[in-house]
Chains A and B, each alone.
Chain A
Amino acid sequence: MAAEKAEMDALKKECDGLRAQIEAARKAVNDGSMSASAGGVEAVGRVQLKLRKNLKGHLAKIYAMHWSADSRQMVSASQDGKLLIWDTFTGNKLTAVPLKSAWVMSVAFAPSGNLVASGGLDNICTVYNIKAASPKTLRELDAHTGYLSCSRFLSDSEIITASGDTTCCLWDLETGKQKVVFTNHIGDCMSLALSPDENSFISGACDSLAKLWDIRSGTCKQTFSGHTSDINAIAFFPSGNAIITGSDDCSCKMYDLRADQEVIGYQDTSLNAGVTSVALSNSGRLIFAGYDDFNCHIWDSLKGEKVGVLSGHDNRVSCTGVPADGMGVCTGSWDSFLKLWN
């Protein structure tokens, strides 16, 4: 027993030693701050966006939304037990998908536009074919032992899910089986985002860590720390070299994959509400972050300054999304409305 304990202690000491070395390596490359480097960059000025659309239709809290690849259709999920597929330009509801379980937390649009997926407290990711005469359940992906917090399609054949059971998972939609389980987080996974080249993805969890995963090998390639509370939202910088996270600690952070550490933080003493969602403009210059204080605040990603705010919701902003063509930003809220701004 004593020998076992001694062995464990030695191993743990080795771990600590390695961690210290990694920290030292990170410090060594930290030769200047991002905001200092961005000192010479022209300011974006005050970003004042107008409300262009107010989409009414849901009867209860909206928990999630996702743009279609065509930048015009969008799917939203609400705890009124429905998914709504919108033509956001006309404001028309194209399809309503009734859900088996009203406790939905996530929704995703497949790049092809043929499928949508949703899931929540039922622990199941249900995939629907919305091109059929009436929406048809294609698959029920049932293997997670915790709530489904997020999902993203790689294609009509594969989907990645994040769960409150602390794992993420790659599924094959033909068989409905898990292909790879990504295990490393020690807290509920809250959010995931695919890299632009779709070879990897990032996840944010309640263990306050963000992790980069290789889809093919199923391994965790990098871990980013710094937040002091749950990470609720995560997104890739458009170049694929950096990631943005939003947390219950009321701040957002940018981590760069090449520097392997935090590059800049976005926080303000006047902001005392948790971040629920993040989205970036096409150049990566602007970050749209939804907060519990009913607003979506806009940050200059390079200078770390607040440059605007989207006010208008009567309750928490739960989801935010910028379409592929970057023409606007959509916010969804617990007040049951979706708003489009630019």
Chain B
Amino acid sequence: MLRWMILKPTALIYKIEDIVTCIQDETEGVPIRTVKSFMTKIPSVVTGTDIVQWLMKNLSIEDPVEAMHIGTLIAAQGYFFPISDHVLSLKDDGAFYRFQAPYFWPSNCWEPENTDYAIYLCKRTMQNKTRLELADYEAENLARLQRAFARKWEFIYMQAEAQVKIDRKKDKTERKILDSQERAFWDVHRPVPGCVNTTEMDIRKCRRMKNPHRVKKSVYGLVEEGTQSQSPTHTPSHLCRKGTKEDVEKEILFLNTQLDRHCLKMSKVAESLISYTEQYMEYDPFITAPEPSNPWTSDDPSLWDLENSIREPSQQRVKKWGFSLEEALKDPVGQDLFLKFLESEFSSENLRFWLAVQDLKRIPQQEVAQRAQDIWAEFLAEGAPSSINLDSHSYERTSQNLKDPGRYSYEDAQDHIYKLMKSDSYTRFLRSNVYQDLLMAKKKVNVSNGMRLLHHILLF
């Protein structure tokens, strides 16, 4: 399946245009003809089916659905269009399609301004033909543009009149074709709401058009300044800051801290990253199939139900708690088990302190000051009920911080306690019976079941 639609005018757009040229070829292309309808003639059209057939034959596509899809992608770029619809797509039916004039092809790098669009809509209202009546969204667009261009509307009106004069000079059939091509051009650049627009740039990059091919030229040959882009105006982002002496001094400070940093050797870094991925490979569903199954693959959400159940953590999950203290604490079940273990050793105050400080960092700002005081009272004050062991330096720092309590008042203390837990209680936890039992998935055999099994064996 070919997917080569790219928006920049690269070699691929020209390839598409080669195809579009071939498809219109007099001998090898689709049958483009004038169709008689009621009292009128429809010039230069071809049916959707003809296009689909041609695409299948000449691009070696077996499936008509795929041919329609590719045709729709080409239509969305504006190379051909249904004559009776603003939505640019290709259907395998008897509806009529027309090819776009090369003048309007995307390779010309059109990025028409709203002034051009205003002129177009204005001109449509001047021509008394039912087929040129504005659709609802076009009428809305026109109203919006009239407000936006209020001050230069006279200019726009005059340009529209000039365009109408030029159009009148052309013969009837030519006008029918050109009108529809012009409409299709605007269907690409100002699409029906709800359509996916193929031409728009990422609005975040709009202001900074770096592509030199994109020349701002008017569809109607206007030479104008002060053009506006389609997206609403917004405050321009901060331009390059001039380097003041302060800025440079700050930069020097920053660079000095950078220099002081100890860089780890690339080989060590690589080793560490490799071993991390190897350790976690079995926990990566893209690499190791999860048990019982990946809900997205099997359509069975039981894996999620199992994960949420707190009574039966899987062996694999328990193993992960042994990777690091971080992993044990990250999992609420692991955290709970570690806490229970510490309680059994009457040393749970460290973990409770750590959890309280984590919580402090997330509660609403107005509760912070009070909670910080509560933590002090519970864990650090003289005679505190859950007294933790801090070195004097951290203790001093923390009590200073508490003069102006904030979310991060306990950072140093928390770091210290974490290191303590990691080197002491955590390692003992991993060796403990509660952890090892879960890890080895030792299950107590149900006595009555055991008897039934024995009975069964004895009978047979």
Which residues on A are within 8 Å of B, measured CB to CB? 4, 7-8, 11-12, 14-15, 18-19, 21-22, 25-26, 28-34, 37-38, 41, 44, 47, 49-50, 52-53, 59-61, 71-72, 80, 89, 103, 105, 121, 123, 145-147, 149, 154-158, 164-166, 172-175, 186, 188, 190, 197, 206, 216, 220, 222-223, 230, 237-239, 241-242, 256, 258-261, 263, 272-273, 281-286, 292-295, 301-302, 311, 314-315, 325-329, 334-336, 340, 342
Contact = CB atoms under 8 A, between A and B. Distances in A.
Interface string B255-292: 11011010111111111111011111101111100100
Given A284-B273, A342-B286, A29 B266 contact: yes
Q: Is the interface of A mostly helix, strand, loop or mixed?
A: loop
Contacts of A326: 283-286
Given A37-B274, A302-B274, A325-B307, A283 B248 contact: no
A340 B297 CA distance: 11
Contacts of B395: none
Contacts of A25: 259, 263
Nearest to A17: B255
A126 to B, nearest CB: 16
B301 interface: yes
Residue among B194, B196, B208, B235 with the highest chain A CB neighbour number at 10 A: B196
Contact of B269 (A44, A103, A259): A259
Contact of B266 (A22, A34, A44, A237): A34
Contacts, number: 248
Given A103-B231, A301-B277, A342-B296, A283 B267 contact: no
Interface of B: 1, 3, 5-7, 10, 73, 193-194, 196-198, 200, 203-205, 208, 231-232, 234-238, 240-241, 243, 245, 248-249, 251-252, 254-256, 258-259, 261, 263-274, 276-281, 283-287, 290, 294-297, 301, 303-304, 307, 326, 361-366, 407-408, 411
7 contacts: A11-B249, A25-B263, A32-B266, A121-B232, A223-B258, A237-B273, A328-B296
Contact of B283 (A31, A158, A282): A282
Contacts of B200: 61
Contacts of B263: 25-26, 28-29, 258-261
B238 A146 contact: yes
A25 B272 CA distance: 20
B255 A12 contact: no
A226 B295 CA distance: 40
A85 to B, nearest CB: 18
Nearest to B284: A283
A61 to B, nearest CB: 7
Given A188-B237, A336-B196, A263 B269 contact: yes
